[in-house]
Amino acid sequence: MDFIRDYADWFYLIGAVLFILTLRGLSGPKTAIAGNRYGMIAMAIAVLTTFFVAENPVVWMIIGAMVLGAIVGIARARTVPMTQMPETVALMHSLVGLAAVLIAVAAIIHNNKLAELDVGLLQANGVNFHEMSKVHLFELFVGCFVGAITFTASVFAYGKLAAKKWAKTISGVWVKPVQALIFIAMLGFGVHFFLTGNMTSFWAMTGLALAFGWVWIAPVGGGDMPVVVSLLNSFSGWAAAGIGFTLENNMLIVAGSLVGSSGAILSYIMCKAMNRSIINVLFGGAMGGAAPVVAVGDKAPRNHRSGSADDAGFLMSNADSVVIVPGYGMAQGRAQNAVKELANILKEQGVTVRFAIHPVAGRMPGHMNVLLAEADVPYEDILEMDEINSDFPATDVVLVIGANDVVNPAAKDDPSSPIYGMPILEAHKARTIMVIKRSMATGYAGLDNDLFYNDKTMMIFGDAKKVVEDMTKAINGNGH
């Protein structure tokens, strides 16, 4: 124990380096497994070092909490279906925010209680008490309100992604004034607490921050939820960094800062892929929020061409090149393994098969990449939007599986569309387009898709997994 205490900073430095290597590993699918391992080792070093350097730890309580958390975490990791991964990630972010709030509250109450006692008595019992500095109060102020906002915003994001009835989108002219009023009041009470240490102001700031987190995210539309999840990931990192300052733990400061900055960068990348600013996403009420949602039934009937899995199998087996565009429908139907088998069958018949991934496909960053990796789809077959868009005009067949808004030509052709200007996968330029959907219903952003009515498009209705399996059977039957 003394050895670990004496060299704690060195252990923390090793952990910090491993966390940096973790992010580097997670930047590519081929190195992601190694990156995860680095992260696990770094976290183990951080936890063990902190455990041994803590002053007078309540061992049974710490170990009990760790065991309970491990049991819940392992059980959730083993049972969560891939369709529920986005809301699970949002829920995990909420716990980081809640931890930041609780630690800030505990630190302030603990300090206030010590301040009420005799300093000489404290020193006689080996307790070194120093009145909180302005810097420490500022750290608690920032850590607490960022954590509180992260907590309630993430809880709402969880409810929204899980389609809970209580997570209802709010809209109206009153929303922005209320947001501004709550935010200004929160900052006002926070500044008063910072200047005076007044606990009433602290509780008021915390309560308003919790309310602001909810009201802030509630107007955001469903189509923007991937960006929100990414941004809340960033917030949870900054909240963790705030905890690190409160606990004077350098490792936690470094780890939180890495998560916060990487989440912010990812949010920027995703907003760029949508041709939106982060301010527009969070306060513009765009897409699924304030934008008018036009249901299919509210518009004049439009003709679409439908076909069968057998038709699709025949067309793909006679093509030279096929591009598969996965979307949330593939996740919902748990069709990734069936899609991998379809791709293998086509390759055996000499067809070039690749996968096209849009940065905001699915309900969370990297959702489709995770699904395809789970099915062991070769990394070299998976291309990002910028890599494959120029190839669509020379592609014989594009198979869209449950994707909607990320292939909607209105983003390029219709200035009145809420998604106008958003970069899309240009599937409409292929020679033949096939779309697997359960129905003609709108996508997550609530917008009708012009691609479905294209003369080159064939709609195939049904569960994604069942339709893809039927396509594979048809190709086997049409074998050269």
Q: What is the pTM of this model?
A: 0.76
Please choose, from the candidates 112, 103, 106, 110, the residue with its C-alpha nearest in 3D space to the C-alpha of residue 242. 103
The bridge status of strand 321-326 relative to strand 352-357 is parallel
Active site residue 405: yes
Which CATH architecture group holds 298-477? 3-Layer(aba) Sandwich (3.40)
Note the pLDDT tens digit of each residue in 63-86.
Answer: 999 899 999 989 988 888 777 778
Per-residue pLDDT tens digits of the chain, which is 480 residues long: 667 777 888 999 999 999 999 988 887 777 888 999 999 999 999 988 988 888 778 889 889 998 999 999 899 888 887 777 788 888 988 998 999 899 889 888 877 776 666 555 555 555 554 566 777 778 888 888 899 999 999 999 898 888 888 888 888 889 889 999 999 999 999 999 888 888 899 999 999 999 999 999 888 876 677 788 888 889 888 888 888 887 778 888 988 999 899 888 888 887 877 777 777 777 765 344 434 444 444 555 678 899 999 999 999 999 999 999 999 889 888 899 999 999 999 999 999 999 999 988 877 777 888 889 888 899 899 999 989 999 999 999 999 998 888 899 988 888 888 778 888 999 999 999 999 998 877 765 567 888 999 999 999 999 999 999 999 999 987 554
- CA 326 – CA 324 distance, rounded (Å): 6
Nearest 5 degrees, angle CA 256-CA 218-CA 149? Answer: 30
- CA 457 – CA 327 distance, rounded (Å): 17
List 6, 381, 405, 470, catalytic entry: 405
Q: What token pair was written down for 196?
A: 């005076």
* Cα 179 to chain centroid, rounded: 23
* Cα 35 to chain centroid, rounded: 18
